[in-house]
Amino acid sequence: MRLYHGSKIVVEQPIKAAGRVNNDYGQGFYCTENIELAKEWASETSKGGFVNEYMIDTSGMKVIDLNKEPYTIFHWLTVLVEHRKVRISTPLMKRGVDFLKTNFHVDISQADIIRGYRADDSYFSFVRAFLQNSIDVYQLERAMRLGGLGEQVFIQSEAAFHAIKFIDAERVEGKVYAPKRQEREQEAKRAFDGLLLEEIVSGVYLSDVIKGKVNIDELRL
């Protein structure tokens, strides 16, 4: 598998300790298979950064893909709220987070690699909207695809860190890719604002799930 990591610096030897503890899936090394996205992620400002290229042989490794069966958007969401800092602002949000942890917990501790949506700070607002009962689950699924956010590949285990091999690093022009990054996020926000204006006749909201109005087994399909 060929992977890319956008950063302010060249990262020849990824290490788990360098990652933030309260990131999407915990502490580890976050990559993408899309080099253009990696270049945008490297360009938080016009100063730019580097896109680092790697190869990794995943033979014999345990890979959890949260975007494929048997997992659903609820499993991904649960992994997210178990690792990211979530500001609980209402009793419903508290009940919702507890419900997700009880019914959709995924043990990722033994996985070598995890695949799933990336939820940076701007996209995390979509998650909060669902937890606040402002959008339904189908809108959440659509929201996570807005702006071509893409999937991320999370390197977690010691075996995976030993297997990943640095290939090269390319300088990224921030003046080119910082605007692209901003436009992608703005496009997603505009589309999300459109979702909020939709009239949902028979949506599945967090409150419906908690109250048992929806069969949990159906949500796993």
Q: How many domains, the chain?
A: 1
Measured CA to CA, the distance from residue 69 to residue 66 in angstroms comes to 8
Q: Which pLDDT value is given to residue 32?
A: 95
Q: What is the pLDDT of residues 124-167, one digit of tens each?
A: 778 888 999 888 888 888 777 765 567 899 999 999 999 999 99
This prediction's pTM = 0.87
Across 26-41, average pLDDT: 94
- Percent of the chain residues topping a pLDDT of 70: 91
Q: What does the radius of gyration of the chain's CA atoms come to, in whole angstroms?
A: 18
Higher per-residue confidence, 179 vs 72: 179
- pLDDT bucket at 221, cuts 50 / 70 / 90: very low
**Residue 88 near residue 99 (C-beta atoms within 8 A):** no
Residue 219 has pLDDT above 60, yes or no: no
Higher per-residue confidence, 16 vs 119: 16
Lowest-confidence segment of 39-43, 44-48, 83-87, 100-104 by average pLDDT: 83-87
Residue 195 has pLDDT above 80, yes or no: no
Q: Which pLDDT value is given to residue 2?
A: 97
Q: Which pLDDT value is given to residue 171?
A: 97
Burial of 199 by CB count in 10 Å (0-12 exposed, 13-18 middle, 19+ buried)? exposed
Q: Which pLDDT value is given to residue 148?
A: 57
What is the average pLDDT value for the chain, to the nearest integer? 88
Measured CA to CA, the distance from residue 172 to residue 175 in angstroms comes to 9
- Residue type at 83? H
* Structure-token match 């297997």, residue found: 163
8, β-bridge pairs? none
168, β-bridge pairs? 53
Q: Which pLDDT value is given to residue 204?
A: 84
Lowest-confidence segment of 25-29, 112-116, 204-208, 217-221 by average pLDDT: 217-221
Across 70-83, average pLDDT: 91
Domain containing 93: what range? 2-219
Q: Which pLDDT value is given to residue 208?
A: 87
Residue 108 has pLDDT above 80, yes or no: yes
Q: Which pLDDT value is given to residue 82?
A: 93
